[in-house]
Amino acid sequence: EVQLVESGGGLVKPGGSLRLSCAASGFIFNTCTLNWVRQAPGRGLEWVSSISSSGTHIYYAESVKGRFTISRDNAKNSVQLQMNSLRAEDTAVYYCARDPRGAGTGFLDSWGQGILVTVSS
């Protein structure tokens, strides 16, 4: 069974940093593209970032480019999202999602339960 478990969320002040992690199990991690998708309270879904199976191809939404960095550790079956210069508008539930293709484009078939990030003074 595919499992994705996010951690690292919490309350942070504007301008602060936070590092999210997603631990994966139940599938061959190093063959899949991993993604972060977020959802602000009461709002719709917004794609944030993707990293290909080898880490060669990385993409970001314009809203986070230059502030967020995605990375993965295939030896530990985990993907991270380093979030710097956080703003109130980054407040959201952040989901880790899998694309089973190595260099995929959003074929998101499995999602974690989500982790809340709150940016507030």
Footprint of another protein (CB under 8 A)? 35, 44-47, 50, 59, 61-62, 95, 99, 104-109, 111-114
Least distance to another protein, CB of residue 60, Å: 8
**Among residues 85 and 105, whose Cβ is nearest to another protein?**
105
Least distance to another protein, CB of residue 121, Å: 26
**Among residues 16 and 106, whose Cβ is nearest to another protein?**
106
The residues, any chain, with a CB within 8 Å of residue 21's CB and separated by 6 or more, are: 6, 7, 8, 78, 79, 80, 81
Least distance to another protein, CB of residue 93, Å: 9
Report residue 22 as tokens: 């997603």
* Strand intervals (E) in the chain: 3-7, 10-12, 18-25, 33-39, 45-51, 58-60, 68-73, 78-83, 92-99, 110-111, 115-119
Least distance to another protein, CB of residue 77, Å: 19
**Among residues 50 and 78, whose Cβ is nearest to another protein?**
50
Nearest to 22 by CA among 36, 4, 44, 9: 4
**Among residues 2 and 84, whose Cβ is nearest to another protein?**
2
